[in-house]
Amino acid sequence: MNELDKYKKQNPFIVPDGFFDALRDEVMETVRKEEKRRLFRRRVAFVSSAAAVLVIVLMVSIFWKPSTGELVAIAPEKTKTETQTIMQIPADIEEIVETPAAKSVSSPTQNRVLAQSQKSTSTKMVSSVATANVEVERNGEITSSIMEEYTEELEQELYCDALLDLDLYLDLCYEY
């Protein structure tokens, strides 16, 4: 290490004359350009952000439907679907009228009665759907007496049920 120590204080690296002054000028010029680029990028970023916000605001104002609070692109099909389902009921019920059970009854009169009773049942079914606040067509005509018929029939059924329960009760009383 003593041998090496002799040479450690000598600087073997040669630098061209005026190198450090020229280096300072070159570096300062470079950082000035760097700063200009940074400020330009910042301005571009600001303008881009502002433009993006403007586009979003325009898009929302075009497609937003304030009255329903929904976007125009979404149009609920529910009421139409419900209407279609309800309208299908009469067609299904028509099929019931044509069941083999109805056909097996011998006399035409009985057939007619059976068909009519089944139709009345079908009317009841349609009427019960009417309680969902949807008007239903019966025989092609909209009638407002469906609710009245339904109420009447329901009362009759309830009365018959009540009488039946009373009979059963009395029987039971006699047994015990």
Partner 1 sequence: MPKTQVTDEYILEMFKDEKTREKAFGLLMDKFQSDIYYAIRRIVFLHEDAKDVTQNVFVKIWRHLEGFRGDSSLKTWITRICINESLSFIEKKKKLLNLNEEEYLNWMVQAVPEDRYFSADKIQQLIQQAILSLPEKQRIVFTYRYYDEMPYEEMSKLLNTSEGALKASYHFAVKKVEEFLKNH
Q: Which residues bind partner 1 (CB under 8 A)?
A: 1, 3-4, 7-8, 10-16, 19-20, 23-24, 26-28, 30-32, 34-35
Q: How far is the CB of 27 from partner 1 (least distance, A)?
A: 5
Identify which of residues 30 and 117 has a Cβ nearer to partner 1 in the complex. Answer: 30
- Could you tell me the smallest distance in angstroms from the CB atom of residue 72 to partner 1? 48
Residue 128 to residue 122: CA distance in whole angstroms: 10
What's the rounded Cα separation, in Å, for the pair 44 and 36?
A: 12
- To partner 1, the closest distance from the beta carbon of 37 in angstroms equals 11
User: Minimum distance between the CB of residue 64 and partner 1, rounded to whole angstroms?
Assistant: 42
Greatest CA span in the chain, whole angstroms?
Answer: 137
Smallest separation (angstroms) from partner 1 to the CB of 47: 20
Which C-beta is closer to partner 1: that of 15 or that of 132? 15
Tokens representing residue 173 in the block: 């009383």
Residue 46 or 63 with smaller CB distance to partner 1: 46
- Residue by residue, DSSP assigns 45-103 as HHHHHHHHHHHHHHHHHHHEETTTTEETT----HHHHHHHHHHHHHHHHHHHHT-HHHH
Report the residue number, 3 or 141, with the smaller CB distance to partner 1.
Answer: 3
Neighbours of 127 (CB within 10 A): 22
Residue whose CB is less far from partner 1, 32 or 103 = 32
Contact 112, 159 (CB under 8 A): no
